[in-house]
Amino acid sequence: MKEEIKEIRVRSMSKSELAMAYAPTLTPQAAVNRLMMWIHHNPELTDLLLRSGYRKMQKLFTSYQVRLILDYLGEP
């Protein structure tokens, strides 16, 4: 059976929406935890996100922040 590959369109999206694209078999909270762990283990990405206005408690990534994440972590 051929697996369908879904391309992510760069736009603002919730943390859980983006996280679930990377880890669709996890619960939304577990997927967000994993995504944030990957981000925090990449100091350059973390710095760029902070410079873009990212704050720990925000629920949505801007389209620019989504582009940064995709550039550093790769497509899901």
Q: What's the pLDDT tens digit per position in 14-61?
A: 999 999 999 999 999 999 999 999 999 999 999 999 999 999 999 999
Residue spans per domain, the chain: 30-76
Residue 29 is predicted with a pLDDT of: 97
Assign 11 a pLDDT band (cuts: 50, 70, 90).
very high
Assign 1 a pLDDT band (cuts: 50, 70, 90).
very low
Helix residue ranges per DSSP H, the chain: 15-22, 28-40, 43-51, 63-73
The tokens describing 32, both together, are: 């967000």
Sequence-separated (6 or more) residues with CB below 8 Å from residue 52: 62, 64, 65, 68
Whether the pLDDT of residue 62 is over 90: the answer is yes
Q: State the pTM of this model.
A: 0.88
